[in-house]
Amino acid sequence: MHIIIFRQPVQLRLQALFLSSLLLTACSAPMEKTWDPLQGETTDKQARAGIDRNAAGMSPAMAALIQDADESIEQQQWGRALFILERALRVDAKQPEVWTRMAVTYLGKQEPQQALQMARRSNSYARSKPELQSYNWLLISRAYTALDQPQAAEKAAAKSQQLQ
């Protein structure tokens, strides 16, 4: 492979930037990230519960659907996200990450009752995933807050903290 470096200063800088970013990407170890669509992304799993964006253990089809849904959620395209997540459920209805994303989507659509149901369903499939359960309880707390049920929201938040 030959790299052609142009002599013009702007192009030279752009190529140097591209090559350095490519090198950094290739040399860096992948970081485990959790993602809270309502709060942003963090690399510190202990700092905040969230969705693990690592698609390890998923089929390529499921991983692609999850990635498409995440992009729709980030862009607040709630209808499109639900459409994609419903397709993902047809592939594997016992995938807790799909149910969690549905809960997030329903919270985004201002439908907290639906969000409660989706987060609870996710927890029923996430028995061996305490971090995901913790995040689901956080979503349940947010849904109860939206439903103006502060005592239930506090109990759910406490369960979330317990699992962290």
Check whether residue 58 and residue 4 sit in a common domain.
no
The 10s digit of each residue's pLDDT in 6-64 is 444 544 443 443 433 333 333 333 334 455 666 554 433 433 446 666 666 788 999 99
pTM over 0.75? The answer is: no
Residue 11 domain boundaries: 1-30
The 10s digit of each residue's pLDDT in 72-81 is 998 999 999 9
Instruction: Please say whether the beta carbons of 153 and 144 come within 8 A.
Output: yes
Check whether residue 51 and residue 131 sit in a common domain.
yes
DSSP E strands: which ranges in the chain? Answer: 34-36, 40-42, 51-52
Q: How many domains does the chain have?
A: 2
Beta bridge partners of 42: 34
Q: What is the CATH number of the domain that holds 156?
A: 1.25.40.10
Structure confidence at residue 164 (pLDDT): 83
Kindly state the tokens that stand for 163: 């699992």
Check whether residue 155 and residue 80 sit in a common domain.
yes
Check whether residue 53 and residue 125 sit in a common domain.
yes
Check whether residue 46 and residue 4 sit in a common domain.
no
Check whether residue 4 and residue 80 sit in a common domain.
no
The 10s digit of each residue's pLDDT in 101-114 is 999 999 999 999 99
Q: Could you tell me how many residues make up the chain?
A: 164
